[in-house]
Amino acid sequence: REMAAAWARAVRGVLLDVSGVLYDSGGEGGGVPIPGSVEAVRRIKASGLKLRFCTNETQATREKFVKKLQGVGFDISVAEVTAPAPAACRILKERSLRPHLLVHDDLVPEFAEIDKTNPNCVVIGDAAENFTYANLNEAFRVLIGMEKPVLISLGRGRYYKETDGLKLDVGAYMKALEYACDVQAEVVGKPAKMFFESALAEMGVPAQQALMIGDDIVNDVGGAQRCGMRALQVRTGKYRPCDENHPHVKPDAYVNNLAEAVDIILQHL
């Protein structure tokens, strides 16, 4: 056990993916916690480790998203969440970009302060039911009409797991627009380096002392490792056994769930 858990040494900060690690979203109540995860979050906080929730969730404002998680028992506040929409808003303001939004209705309030008249870019998020042909085509027309098209994506996930099964994620639609418009999207969520770096800065912990725990082999594990962090994959959420033979990404360890990871981390404190 000692040898096997070299990854758990000198950890000062933990970054947690939310969907698939803490809970599976979907259903009437908004989701179901993964067994042991509510308690695991409480134990991380009690231990004095720094903690950041890193989500590519773009179906709701952070306020709504946090309320939902608090409602199923998690100790979490908006100030502890690193999410793509606020990062995108920073970029839009810095570069005087006016977005055409292809996002979930519930995310629109995050862009309240942003000028959206006469758009000169497209911002795409996990729009779920809003991913209709008409809406995608409208975004396509905005992009194709630009001399230098700018496409900003709030993530590049392929799919995620809800209580009733797997769902197509924003990455699939991002790729469609990239292909149609011959443009390269700028990704502001995971696995973008900037995303993980802002989470580390918010915690005040260097990458070498931080540990990312996620269910997405590419966006969570691969993205964190490229920033110099250690990263674990949980066998919950959208994890599939074939992830363990991924050609490029090898997690520092696999754990069955968040509770097991926390057990090991706390033993090494």
Beta-carbon contacts of residue 242 (< 8 Å; ≥ 6 apart):
none
- Which of the two residues, 186 and 30, has the higher pLDDT score? 186
Give Rg (Cα) of the chain: 18
pLDDT-derived band at 4 (thresholds 50, 70, 90) equals low
- Averaged confidence pLDDT in the chain: 96
Cα-Cα-Cα-Cα dihedral sign, residues 207, 213, 219, 225:
positive
| Per-residue pLDDT, 29 | 77
Judge whether residue 111 has pLDDT over 70. Answer: yes
Judge whether residue 2 has pLDDT over 60. Answer: no
| Per-residue pLDDT, 30 | 78
Beta-carbon contacts of residue 102 (< 8 Å; ≥ 6 apart):
122, 123, 124, 125, 127, 130, 131, 135, 136, 138, 139, 173
CA dist., res. 253 & res. 231, Å (int):
7
Nearest one of 157, 147, 93, 165 to 124, comparing CA atoms: 157
| Per-residue pLDDT, 26 | 86
CA atoms within 13 A on the CB side of 162: 13
Cβ of 152: how many Cβ atoms within 10 Å? Answer: 22
The average pLDDT across 3-17 equals 90
Residue 265, Cβ density class (10 Å: 0-12 exposed, 13-18 middle, ≥19 buried): buried
| Per-residue pLDDT, 5 | 85
pLDDT-derived band at 198 (thresholds 50, 70, 90) equals very high
| Per-residue pLDDT, 3 | 53
**The domain made up of 10-56+192-267 is a member of CATH 2.60.120.280:** no
Query: How much of the chain exceeds pLDDT 70, in percent?
Result: 99
3-class SS of residue 200: helix
Judge whether residue 243 has pLDDT over 60. Answer: yes
Ranges of CATH 3.40.50.1000 domains, the chain? 10-56+192-267, 86-187
The average pLDDT across 135-155 equals 97
Judge whether residue 208 has pLDDT over 50. Answer: yes
CA dist., res. 207 & res. 237, Å (int):
25
Nearest one of 223, 216, 262 to 18, comparing CA atoms: 216
- Which of the two residues, 3 and 162, has the higher pLDDT score? 162
pTM, to two decimals: 0.94
pLDDT-derived band at 1 (thresholds 50, 70, 90) equals very low
3-class SS of residue 234: strand
CATH class of 86-187: alpha beta
Judge whether residue 226 has pLDDT over 60. Answer: yes
CA dist., res. 67 & res. 78, Å (int):
9
Judge whether residue 33 has pLDDT over 50. Answer: yes
